[in-house]
Amino acid sequence: MELEVLLRNHRTIRAIGFDDAPFVRRCCHPVGVAGVICANTRFEGMVWGEIQPDGWDATETLCQLLIGGKFLPQLHIVLLDGISLGGFNLINLPLLAKRLQRPCIAVMRRQPNLNKIEKAIQRLPQPEQRLEILRQAGPIYEYPPFYFQVCGAEPQVSAQVLRRLTDCGYVPEALRLAHLIAAAVVKGESGRQA
């Protein structure tokens, strides 16, 4: 069902929020990724995977966690904590939306410093490919308190959905819980900030 219809009819919106676990930079150990499923703001389930830090497998890993699993048929939207996981393991947002056949939104807490990001990417292998993935994600929209990139839905509708999925603060509940759980799995307890 389309997001506009769900919003208009005050129906439950099921989202999955993905965030990476804390990790040591310049280390070759895999980085944990938590995916938390919420119905509006109520926790309903979880998936867990691993990616390579600064690698190339984030998009494929997220697809593998959902395609063929029990959660994908229930989901209306996919939320990401930014466009990358595990450092600069960039998510190909249009490809993810196409493969999952769901709108995908990369949510940011603030307007990113693109010059700083590009400089950091230049220090990694295959910087041009990484920058191209970044460009393909499209423009960054600002609908306070949200900043986001989206594929598969209109920005205005996406902003309404983000508000519906946020309990308090500036972070949709599925992303907030993914952040807390990923930190707890690695550190033994969740952090203060989500």
Give a yes or no: residue 97 inside a domain. yes
Long-range contacts of 182-191 (CB under 8 A, 24+ apart): 182/19, 182/20, 182/21, 182/22, 182/32, 182/33, 182/34, 183/21, 183/22, 185/21, 185/32, 185/34, 185/48, 186/21, 186/22, 186/23, 186/32, 187/22
The separation between the first and the last C-alpha atoms of the chain, rounded to the nearest angstrom, is 30
Give a yes or no: residue 194 inside a domain. no
State residue 27's pLDDT score. Answer: 67
Give a yes or no: residue 11 inside a domain. yes
Give a yes or no: residue 96 inside a domain. yes
State residue 4's pLDDT score. Answer: 95
Give a yes or no: residue 125 inside a domain. yes
Give a yes or no: residue 143 inside a domain. yes
Give a yes or no: residue 193 inside a domain. no
User: Looking at residue 109, which CATH number applies to its domain?
Assistant: 3.30.2170.10
- Domains of the chain: total: 1
Taking the whole predicted model, whether its pTM rises above 0.75 is answered as: yes
Instruction: Quote the domain boundaries for residue 22.
Output: 3-187
Give a yes or no: residue 192 inside a domain. no
**Strand partners of residue 89:** 85
Whether residue 23 contacts residue 86, with contact meaning beta carbons closer than 8 Å, is answered with yes
Q: Which amino acid is at 54?
A: D
Q: Which amino acid is at 114?
A: L
Mind listing the pLDDT tens digit of every residue in the chain (194 residues)?
A: 699 999 999 999 999 999 999 887 766 789 999 999 999 999 999 999 999 999 999 999 999 999 999 999 999 999 999 999 999 999 999 999 999 999 999 999 888 898 999 999 999 999 999 999 999 999 999 999 999 999 999 999 999 999 999 998 889 999 999 999 999 888 777 766 65
Q: What is the DSSP letter of 74?
A: G
